[in-house]
A = this chain, B = another copy of it.
Amino acid sequence: MKLEQIETPAALIDVARMQKNIARMQACMNTLGVAFRPHVKTTKCIDVVRAQIAAGARGITVSTLKEAEAFFAAGIHDILYAVSMAPSKLPRALALRRQGCDLKLVVDNPNAASALAAFGDQHGETFEVWIEVDTDGHRSGITPEEDTLLEVGRILHENGVKVGGVMTHAGSSYELDTPAALAALAEQERAGCVRAAQRLREAGIACPAVSVGSTPTALAAAQLNGVTEVRAGVYVLFDLVMHNVGVCALDDIALSVLATVIGHQADKGWAILDAGWMAMSRDRGTSKQSHDFGYGQPCLLNGTLLPGYVVSGANQEHGILSSTEAGTQVDDIVERFPIGMKLRILPNHACATGAQFPEYHAVAPDGNSVEWRRFHGW
């Protein structure tokens, strides 16, 4: 299907940009001498993940068991479920392991570790668990020097669970915006995770994998000594938040929302689009950053940026496009953006915007597109 024929709103992936982003990250990992395990929560799309694996990725990271099931069904065996395991979800994880999935689980506390060990013992299953390490205080995990780290390691190790490694995610990198700060956080993430592995090993627990990552720290790391693999997700498409963090150019952003102009409020300088927050998502990640892009950055259908314009407001199925410059001749809006004109809107956050759509339209450089399904739910 030609780009012009796609009904709006629609989520477009610029395949050339996506391939460039994949190649850039994989080259970076190859230089650093670590394996790369992409986080597939960004796209939940087998076509995208196949491109990541073709470029050299080894295994995947998932944020839900539904992702694990869907990608295992598509032939991917090496899967890290990177959210601390709820005891009630163990039967579903067991079912995947029994089908031959090399599913690795995560815990960060003694109670979850005990429940997991007891469940494994009860069902005769040797689970593999990676312990989550907190290296930046932004979410979950055990800090490297805590006693709890060894306590959890021992609960697992002494009760028939394989401690496969440690993993951390320096998600606070999204709040930074200078290369120096990102490099410093990447080193903090690396050092903390390596230190946690060292403590476990000194306690007699093997801990082969040392897994770190977020898109900004992965691209900013100067060296990753002691790390075995890196995880990152959003780099595959990038978005306006990542642009503000400083790790991509606007024309690296591979995801956009195709929208149509359906009305105007000329006296206010507004063009009304058929892409509101249901299409863009409610994510306003750039609102706290150096450059607030509203609900998105408009581009022409061919991808040319339209600086000076922004999607400044959104209802469920209505977006409001307006000028960012006071004193613009507001009547221009009707001539510049006539009824029926199609635009591409770059989103704040690729993970959130993609999730609003059942499919991507993967657009080749010649303007032809194919549909790539994605799934949602848990």
Contact = CB atoms under 8 A, between A and B. Distances in A.
Contacts of A8: 86, 88, 378
B83 A262 contact: yes
A329 interface: no
Contact of A318 (B88, B139, B376, B377): B139
A221 interface: no
Interface stretch (A246-254, A274-282, A296-304): A274-282
A87 B339 contact: yes
Interface string A279-292: 10111100000000
A272 to B, nearest CB: 5
Given A86-B340, A263-B108, A355-B356, A10 B140 contact: no
B315 A85 contact: no
Given A355-B278, A377-B358, A85 B262 contact: yes
Copies in the complex: 2
A357 interface: yes
A377 B357 contact: yes
B140 A263 contact: yes
Contacts of A212: none
B140 A84 contact: no
A224 interface: no
Interface string A157-189: 000000000000001000000000000000000
B83 A274 contact: yes
Contacts of A265: 134, 140
Give the contact-size bracket for chain A.
Answer: 35 or more
A86 B6 CA distance: 13
A6 to B, nearest CB: 10
Nearest to A274: B86
Interface in A251-270: 260, 262-265, 268
Interface stretch (A49-57, A70-78, A109-117): A109-117
Interface in A71-104: 83-89, 92
A63 interface: yes
A332 interface: no
A352 interface: yes
Given A318-B83, A378-B9, A112 B262 contact: yes
Contacts of A92: 7
A115 B112 CA distance: 62
Nearest to A89: B7
A268 B138 CA distance: 10
Contacts of A140: 262-263, 265, 272, 318
A64 interface: yes
A88 B9 CA distance: 12
Contacts of A272: 84, 139-140
A317 interface: yes
A1 to B, nearest CB: 13
Nearest to A349: B282
A279 B66 CA distance: 14
B109 A263 contact: yes
8 contacts: A9-B378, A10-B378, A84-B263, A109-B263, A139-B272, A140-B318, A358-B376, A376-B376
Interface of A: 7-10, 41, 63-64, 83-89, 92, 108-109, 111-112, 115, 134, 137, 139-140, 171, 260, 262-265, 268, 272, 274, 277-279, 281-284, 315-318, 320, 338-340, 349, 351-352, 355-359, 376-378
